[in-house]
Amino acid sequence: MTDIPKDHPRYDSLITREKIVEGIKMGITSQQGLVAQGRGESFDYLLGEKTTRSAAIAERAAVAHILLAENPIISVNGNTAALVPDSLVALADVCGATLEVNLFHRSVARIHRITQVLKSHGAGKVLGGKAEKRLDLSHDRAIVEEEGIFSADVVLVPLEDGDRCEKLVEMGKTVIAIDLNPLSRTSLSATVSIVDNVTRALQNMIQFAKDMKHEKHESLLSVIEEYDNNVVLSDTLYIIEENLKSNAKSRGI
Is residue 70 a part of any domain in this protein? Answer: yes
In total, how many domains does the chain have?
A: 1
Is residue 114 a part of any domain in this protein? Answer: yes
Going by their DSSP bridges, the two strands 133-134 and 143-144 should be labelled as antiparallel
Is residue 91 a part of any domain in this protein? Answer: yes
Asked whether the beta carbons of 126 and 99 are under 8 A apart, the reply is yes
pTM, entire model = 0.91
Is residue 44 a part of any domain in this protein? Answer: no
Is residue 39 a part of any domain in this protein? Answer: no
State which amino acid sits at residue 186: T
Which structural domain range is residue 91 located in?
Answer: 53-239
Is residue 210 a part of any domain in this protein? Answer: yes
Angle at 115 between CA 111 and CA 121, to 5 degrees: 150
**Average confidence score pLDDT of the chain:** 91
Is residue 136 a part of any domain in this protein? Answer: yes
Q: What is the pLDDT of residues 136-171, one digit of tens each?
A: 888 888 899 999 999 999 999 987 678 889 999 999
Q: What is the pLDDT of residues 209-224, one digit of tens each?
A: 999 999 999 999 999 9
Is residue 35 a part of any domain in this protein? Answer: no
Q: Can you give the CATH number for the domain in which 93 is found?
A: 3.40.50.12640
